[in-house]
Amino acid sequence: MAKRKKTDETVTVNAVIENQLITDTIEKNYMPYVMSVIISRAIPEIDGFKPSHRKLLYTMYNMGLLTGNRTKSANVVGQTMRLNPHGDMAIYETMVRLTRGNEALLHPFVDSKGSFGKQYSRDMAFAASRYTEVKLDPICAELFRGIDKNAVDMVDNYDNTMKEPTLLPTTFPNVLVSPNIGIAVGMASQICSFNLAEICDGTIALLKNPQITLDKIMDLIKAPDFSGGAMLIYDKDELKKIYQTGRGSFTLRAKYTYDKQANCIDIVEIPYSTSIELIMKRLTELIKEGKMKEITDFRDEIDLNGFKLTLDLRRGADPDTVMAKLYKLTPLEDDFSCNFNVLVDSSPRQMGIIEILSEWIKFRIKCVSRELTYDLDRKKEKLHLLLGLGKILLDIDKAVKIVRETEKESDVVPNLIEGFGIDEIQAEYIAEIKLRHLNREYILKRLSEIEELQKEISELTDLIGDELKIKAYISKQLLEVKKKYGKPRRTEIILSHDIEEVEDDAFIENYNVKLILTKEGYFKKITYQSLRGNDEQKFKEDDFIICEEDAENKDEVLFFTDKAQVYKAKLVDFDAVKSSALGDFIAAKLNFDSGERPIMMKSLKKYDENHNVIFIFENGKTVKIPITAYETKTNRKKLTKAFSDASPIVAAIYEEQPLDILLISTDDRALLVNSADIALKTTRTSAGNITFTLKKNQKLKAAETKIEGRFENPSRYRKTSLPSGGVIISEKDIIKNQISMVE
C-alpha cells in the first residue's frame, strides 16, 4: 500500500501486482496484433488486393466513378475514411500506386489526371490530393461484376454505418496480374506481375484440365511481365521452381539504345525493383573511383515521353562493353525475389502458380454460383408474379369490380386472394397495377414473357447445378477479358545463353607498369607516370632488386618460391605505389608459408606454349618446364610441387628464346651453357639432368644471365659436351665481379 499527500488530505492507492507468464503476455497482447497485420493489412487475398486497396476501390465504385467524370483525389480520400480509418496521406499513397500516372501496374485501376510521381523514381513526388483528379479505369468493371448480385459477402464497416465487401469478385486472376509487396510480422509477400493475356490462357487451360502439367502452364504463362518493361533473363529451371513452389528469384536487366551520332547510351527501361536514383548514385561512385572512365557524363532525361537516362561516352568506348560493365556493377541488372504468400480463407499460404490459379477458380466458382443464384431467384419471383397476372386475364372485369366494391383499402389484397385463388405477393402486385394497364393488350404482352422466363430459369438451374458448365462460363468471361484488355508483353524475354559474356579483363583499367621484386621479398607496381616524377628506388638496408620487368595492369603475375611452390595473382589486386615506397611484402600479401621467400617473378598476358621456366639446383642438375604446366582452368592462387624439391633451388629463369646461362659453383668454377641444351620435361616435379659435375662437398651457388660486360671472356667457360666440371674463374673476372658487387 502506498500513500501520497494531496494538500491536507491523504489519498490511499492500492497497487495490485499480478504475476503473468511471458508466453501468456505474448498470446493475449502480441498475437492479436500479429494476426491483424497479417490478415488485415500486409498480405493480399485471393482477389489480389490488400484491405486498403479494396476499401479505396469500393468507395470509388459507390461514388459512381466507374462511369462518371473524374473527381478531386481529396474527395475520394475523404470518402474512403468511412471504410478505412487511416490518415489521409496513407490512403492517398495507396491510391497513387493504383493510378495510370504512377506506372506501377500493367493494368492500372485508377484513371488519373495530374502528377502522381513514377514507380521508377523514389524522389519524383506526387502532387497533393487537392490538385489531382481520378476516376475508375474501365477494367474495374471486371473487378465489381456481380458485386450487386450477392457475388461476395458484405460485412459492416468499422463503425457499423455501412457495408463493404470481404473480397472483390474479379473476373480474372488479378492476384497474378497486379504486383504486390507486403511485410507482415514473421512473414512477407512479394508477388510479381504476369501478362493478363497469358494468365487468362493459363487459367482457361487449367479450367479445362485440372491435371495439366507445369511445363504446359509454362508454355502459356511464359514469364513475369512488368509495367516498366526491361529484359528478363530466362532461366527455365529457376522459373520452374518459382512456378512450382512460389519462391525463387529471376534477373532483370535494363534496355538501352545507342546514339552513334551523339556517342551516348540512352537507357529507356530499367528493372522494376530499382530506381533511377539508386542507379545514378552507383554511377557517381564508380566514376569517382575511376572504374568507369568510359563515361564522361550522365543525366536524367525523364520527360513526357517516358523514362530516359543518358550516358555520354568517351571517344572510342564500345557501348556494348560499357553496358556489360554497368550490368555487373550497378542496379541496371537486378534480381526480383518472389514469395507468393496469399491469404486463403484468412490463412496465409505460400503457393505456386497452379495452386494459386486453382484457389482462384474455387473462389470464382462460388462468386459465379452466387451471382447466378441471385439472377435465378429474381426470375422466379418475376415468373411467380406473371403467373398471378395470368389469372386476372381470365376475368379483368371481375378484378376491377373487386377493387371498386371493396370499402377499405386494407381489404383489397385479401379480396383479390379470395376472388382469384392467388397468394399475397401476387395480389399485392396486381393491386399496384395502374388502371391504364388493366387492358387485355398490356396483360397479354406481359404474359408472353412467361415462356422466355421459364426457359431462362431452366437454363440457370442446369448451369448452377453443373460445375463443368460453370467452368465453361468462367472460361468465356476470361476470353472476353483477354480480348478487351489483353496487351502485348512489356518485359522482353532473353535466353541466358544468348547473352555475350564479357571477360573480366574488360572491367579492369589497363595501363603500363614497371614491376620490381627485391631479395627481401618486397614487390612494387609502379606506373610510368610515377616513374617520370622520381626514378630513385627505396629499399630496406642491404636489400636489392632480383627481378625487374615491364608489364600491363591486366597481366597475371607468378611468384616462384624456394619451397617449390608458385603463387598466382592479378596485378590489378596490387595498388600502384611510388618509387619512394617499400611496396608490398609479398609473403604477407599472398600468405606464404612460414619462412618461404620468392626467388623469381614473371608477369604473363598468356601462357605461351613455346616459353619455359629453367630451374637450376644446388646439386648441379638443371631442368626446363613449359610455362603451360602452370596454367589452370580455375582461379587457383597457389600451386604446390611446382618443381622438384630433391635439391635446394639456386635460380629460376624464364626462357622466351634460347639464352646463355653462367653457372657458378662454391669452389669458383664456372660453366657457360645455352638453355637450348637443357632437357625439356613435361612433368613439373622432374629432377632434371646433371649439367655441372661438382666435386665432393661442392654445390652450385649462382646462375647468371647478365654476363656481358661482367666477364672478360665469357666464352672460355663454355664446354661443348655436357655434363662438365666447368672452368676455374679467372682472377680478373673474380676481381671485376667483386668490384661490381661493391658498387
The residue behind cell 478505412 is 84
CB 343 within 8 A of CB 43: yes
Beta bridge partners of 232: 252, 493
Measure the CA–CA gap between 164 and 649, rounded to whole angstroms: 88
User: 527: closest CA among 570, 579, 490?
Assistant: 579
**CA 526 to each of CA 529, 581, 606: distance values in angstroms, whole numbers, following the listed order:** 8, 10, 21
Strands 492-495 and 231-234, by their bridges, are parallel
The residue behind cell 573511383 is 289
Measure the CA–CA gap between 737 and 482, rounded to whole angstroms: 92
- Exposed, middle or buried by CB within 10 Å (0-12, 13-18, 19+), for 589? middle
Which residues, including other chains, have CB under 8 Å from residue 362's CB and lie 6 or more apart?
Answer: none
Measure the CA–CA gap between 184 and 373, rounded to whole angstroms: 37
CB 199 within 8 A of CB 379: no
CB 244 within 8 A of CB 214: yes
Measure the CA–CA gap between 109 and 665, rounded to whole angstroms: 90
731-742 b/e with 16+ CB inside 10 Å = b?
eebeeebeeeee
Q: Which amino acid is present at 498?
A: D
**CA 568 to each of CA 98, 124, 633, 637: distance values in angstroms, whole numbers, following the listed order:** 56, 49, 13, 5
**CA 10 to each of CA 4, 13, 573: distance values in angstroms, whole numbers, following the listed order:** 6, 10, 79
Cell (9 digits) for 357: 490459379
φ, ψ of residue 587 to 5 degrees: the values are -65, -40
CB 222 within 8 A of CB 194: no
Q: Tell me the three-class secondary structure of 75-135, residue by residue.
A: HHHHHHCCCCCCCHHHHHHHHHHHECCCCCCCCCCEEEECCCCCCCCCCCCCCCCCCCEEE
User: Would residue 717 show up in a list of annotated catalytic residues for this protein?
Assistant: no
Q: Which amino acid is present at 224?
A: P
Rounded to 5°, angle at Cα 184 from 181 and 190: 25
The residue behind cell 627485391 is 518
Which helix (H) or strand (E) segment holds residue 664: the answer is: strand 660-665
User: 131: closest CA among 92, 186, 170?
Assistant: 92
Question: From the DSSP assignment, how many helices (H) and strands (E) are in the chain?
Answer: 22, 35
Measure the CA–CA gap between 336 and 112, rounded to whole angstroms: 28
Q: Which amino acid is present at 503?
A: E
Catalytic residue, candidates 30, 131, 511, 528: 131
Measure the CA–CA gap between 184 and 181, rounded to whole angstroms: 10
Beta bridge partners of 544: none
DSSP string, 400-425: HHHHHH-SSGGGHHHHHHHHHT--HH
Q: Which residues are catalytic?
A: 131
